[in-house]
Structure 1
Amino acid sequence: MPSNLVDITSADHFKQVLSEDLNRVSVLNFWASWAKPCEKMNEAVKEMSSQYQEVLFLMIEADVQDEIAESFDIEEVPSFLILRGHTLLARHAGSNAQLLITLLNQHTNKAQPVQPLSATSQAPAAPSNNTAAAATTAPANETQEQLEERCQQLMNKHKVVLFMKGNPSAPKCGFSRQTVGLLREKGIEFAWFDILSDQGVRETLKKLNDWPTFPQIILNGELIGGLDIFRESLENGEFDEMYAAAGEETEPST
């Protein structure tokens, strides 16, 4: 592995490596093993590391190094941040390797564009995800009161509602993916909402439920919690008891 290509193993390791040279340009590659576009982009980054030897490339597995991912508000993978020291220069989410090269050229001393990467490293753009569980278009001139009412309606749309990043077929974070897996493993029917599609809903739910992160699992209009609490409640049987006590669902699953 090239010396300028580093696998980050912890938050302390990340801080140490990043602080060694505050004048150096760094590329933070946030990836996940479950996201197929990351496979080709990881290969592309390895190829870039040999072409940009003056640049430090940090490989950060978002699900494992969740503290780092949260600190940079990483919402999907692959995602790339270009830094000089601790200063953010550019941000790119997606699997367009040539765009990443263009951004690198803008922030390094490359006089000419780097040669195109091999065809095998050109990953197609990730498909866009549109929620089918509920309308995501906010009414015109929506007031805060109307937004809160809309959020309450979404939480009561189904017996179980999952507010997640992405959709069940293409989650955009590992926590959402794991939550969908647990729900499906238990055979629980649920409606879902992509909080990345509506910033108003995303921020309002944090306040309404007093819960700052996603996914959020809702049962009969009430917050159960995030992934860890949901998993624990499944393991100790509490969720099954609450689910049974909640009665029959009133709306069909979407």
Structure 2
Amino acid sequence: MSPNYLELKDEQQLYRLLRDQSQTTVVLFFTAQWSPQCQQMDPVFTALASKYSDLQFVKVEAESFETVSESYEISAVPSFVFVSEVAIVDRVDGANAPELTRLVEKHHRGPAPSGDVPAAEAVKTDLNTRLKELTHRSPVMIFIKGTPTQPRCGFSRQLVQLLDEREVKYGYFDILSDEEVRQGLKQFSSWPTYPQLYTEGELLGGLDIIKEMIQSGEFMESLPANTKA
């Protein structure tokens, strides 16, 4: 393991590190053992630590160090916080390996080190696999802000209402609960906005498209038979 990489054992260890290395950018990786996204990012974080020896990399079990997590406003894992002179200077929320790598390179001082971080591409592949699984989770899947009972934007509320009025059976995913899915699905589907509705893993469209299909009578015909009331 690289000498500039450590797994946090106690809070005082972090405070001493930030005090003693105030001139060094410290990258905090807030993680959880139960999270597959954190497991995906772990080799990326380790590889970056090996490559960029002038930065300090610290792995923090978010649930074991709740006070530390709260002080850095960690609401989900994985999250990466860049600290310099005790101040937050950058952060990445979600399993975004390219953005994490970009920010590490930004804070690196000196000539570009040799070598690659091959795990970053692996994370992208894993994300696409996860998105494919999510879109196939139910014959009709909607990706909304919030939940069907508590939508957190007007467009999501309208879509839920349209489906409920027609007694359509559907699964859902709250994109506000996972920044990785929220950003990744836009590229995966080539559709930049939410909500999104999928049938048997294929994107049917957003709210406007669904409204148009309802008006034309195409919508119910396009649904799998077992999702209709």
Task: Give the TM-score band, short-chain normalised.
Answer: 0.5 to 0.7
User: CA deviation digits over 1:58-105, x for unaligned, max 9?
Assistant: 100001111100111101110001111312211111112121111112
Tell me which residue corresponds to 1:87. 87
Secondary structure of 1:2 counterpart: coil
* Aligned twin of 2:39: 39
Q: Which residue of 2 aligns with 1:49?
A: 49
Shift in CA distance, 114/85, structure 1 to aligned 2, threshold 3 Å: farther
Quick one: which amino acid aligns to residue 153 of structure 2? T
Aligned to 1:10: 10
Could you tell me how far apart the structure 1 residues matched to 2:50 and 2:18 are? Answer: 19
Which amino acid in structure 2 is aligned with residue 73 of structure 1?
E
Q: Cα distance, 1:132 vs. partner?
A: 2.4
Aligned length in residues: 145
Is 1:136 the counterpart of 2:145 in the alignment? no
Corresponding residue for residue 140 of structure 2: none
Query: Which consecutive residues of structure 2, in runs of 5 or more, have no partner in the other structure?
Result: 132-142, 156-172, 179-229
What is the aligned partner in structure 2 of residue 97 from structure 1?
97
**Following the alignment from structure 2 to structure 1, what is the Cα–Cα distance between the partners of residues 151 and 177?**
18
2:70 alignment partner in structure 1: 70
TM-score by length of 1: 0.50
Q: Secondary structure at the match of 2:30?
A: strand
Q: Which runs of 5+ in 1 are unaligned?
A: 140-165, 173-254
Residue correspondence of structure 1 range 142-181 to structure 2 within 5 A? none
CA contact (8 A) 1:41 1:121 kept: no
What SS is found at the alignment partner of 2:43? Answer: helix
Distance 1:78 1:10, change over 3 A: same
Deviations 1:25-45 (A, max 9, x none): 110000001110101211111
Tell me, in whole angstroms, the C-alpha distance in 2 between the residues paired with 1:56 and 1:49. Answer: 7
**What amino acid is the match of 1:106?**
K
Q: Render the CA deviation track for 1:156-196: whole Å, top value 9, x for unaligned.
A: xxxxxxxxxx96xx977xxxxxxxxxxxxxxxxxxxxxxxx
User: Any runs of at least 4 consecutive aligned residues in structure 1 with deviations exceeding 6 A, and if so which?
Assistant: 126-129
* 8 Å contact from structure 1 (residues 105, 113) kept in 2: no
SS at 1:123 equivalent: helix
Q: Which has the higher helix share?
A: 2
Cα deviations by residue, 1:186-212 (Å, 9 ceiling, x for unpaired): xxxxxxxxxxxxxxxxxxxxxxxxxxx
- 3-state SS of paired residue (2:29): strand
Secondary structure class of the residue paired with 2:58: strand
Pair 93,85 (structure 1): closer, same or farther in 2 beyond 3 Å: same
Secondary structure in 1 matching 2:123: coil
Whether the 8 Å CA contact 2:81–2:90 is kept in 1: the answer is yes
Residues 112-170 of structure 1, C-alpha deviation per residue, up to 9 Å, x if partnerless? 4865421476324586774222221269xxxxxxxxxxxxxxxxxxxxxxxxxx96xx9
Q: In the alignment, residue 104 of structure 2 is paired with which amino acid?
A: L
Change in 2 beyond 3 A, CA 1:113/1:5: closer
CA distance in 1, matches of 2:153, 2:114: 41
Cα RMSD, aligned residues only: 2.9
Native 8 Å contact 1:101 1:114 kept in 2: no
Q: Given residue 152 of structure 2, which amino acid in structure 1 is its aligned partner?
A: T
Partner of 2:77, secondary structure, is coil
